[in-house]
C-alpha cells in the first residue's frame, strides 16, 4: 500500500482547491437544475452575455467589453445562445462590419430561470452554513474580487 504524500492533504484544503471544488459543485448543480427546467445544453456561464445585453440590443463588441471576455469566447457563447433561440444576431445598419445581438422571448425566459437557479443554490448554501456565515463569506469574496481587480499587475 502506498503512503500518501503529506503535500496531498495540504493541497486538498488550500484556498485554490476549495474554490475550485465549490465552483465545480456550483456548475454541476446549476447545470442539473437548468436541465430539469428544460435548458439542457445551457449553463449559468451563458448568462454572461445576456446580463450585459441591452434590452434594445447591443453590438457584440460592446457586450464583450462589458463582460471582460475575449472576442472568441463571447463569439462561442453567442453562437450557442443563438442556436438555442435565446438571442438573434443581425448586421448593424449603422456599420456593416458590426453585429447586433438582441434578446428573444426565449432568452428572457432562460435568464429568468438562470437567476432563479442561482438564487436556489445560494439559498441552499446559506442554509448549510447559516445566514451570518454565508453573508460574511459573500462580503469577503466580494472584497477579494474588488481588491484583486484593482491591484497592480
- Structurally, at CATH architecture level, domain 18-150 sits in Orthogonal Bundle (1.10)
Report in angstroms the alpha-carbon separations of 147 from 17, 33, 78, 139, 140: 20, 32, 30, 12, 10
Three-state SS for 98?
A: strand
CA pair distance 140, 7, nearest whole angstrom: 27
Kindly give the pairing relationship between strand 58-59 and strand 87-92. Answer: unpaired
Q: Is the pTM of this model over 0.95?
A: no
For residues 71-86, average pLDDT: 95
Among the ranges given (7-21, 62-76, 139-153), the one the predictor scored with the smallest mean pLDDT:
7-21
Residue with cell 441552499: 124
The edge-to-edge listing of strands for the beta sheet with 87-92 is 58-59, 95-103, 87-92
**Cell numbers of 96, please?**
456593416
CA 79 to chain centre: 16
Three-state SS for 51?
A: coil
> CB of 57 within 8 A of CB of 102?
yes
Q: State the pLDDT at residue 98.
A: 85
Of 117, 33, 37, 49, nearest to 82 by C-alpha is 49
For residues 4-17, average pLDDT: 68
Domain-wise residue ranges, the chain: 18-150
pLDDT, tens digit, for every residue of 107-148? 999 999 999 999 999 999 999 999 999 999 999 999 998 998
Amino acid at each position: 500500500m502506498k503512503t500518501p504524500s503529506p503535500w496531498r492533504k495540504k493541497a486538498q484544503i488550500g484556498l485554490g482547491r476549495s474554490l475550485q471544488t465549490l465552483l465545480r459543485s456550483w456548475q454541476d448543480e446549476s447545470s442539473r437544475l437548468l436541465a430539469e427546467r428544460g435548458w439542457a445544453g445551457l449553463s449559468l456561464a451563458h448568462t454572461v452575455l445576456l446580463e450585459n445585453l441591452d434590452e434594445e440590443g447591443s453590438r457584440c463588441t460592446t457586450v464583450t467589453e462589458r463582460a471582460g471576455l475575449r472576442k472568441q469566447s463571447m463569439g462561442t457563447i453567442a453562437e450557442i445562445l443563438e442556436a438555442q433561440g435565446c438571442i438573434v444576431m443581425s448586421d448593424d445598419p449603422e456599420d456593416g462590419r458590426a453585429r447586433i445581438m438582441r434578446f428573444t422571448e426565449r432568452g428572457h425566459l432562460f435568464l429568468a430561470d438562470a437567476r432563479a437557479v442561482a438564487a436556489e443554490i445560494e439559498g441552499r448554501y446559506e442554509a448549510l452554513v447559516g445566514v451570518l456565515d454565508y453573508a460574511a463569506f459573500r462580503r469577503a469574496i466580494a472584497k477579494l474580487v474588488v481588491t484583486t481587480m484593482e491591484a497592480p499587475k
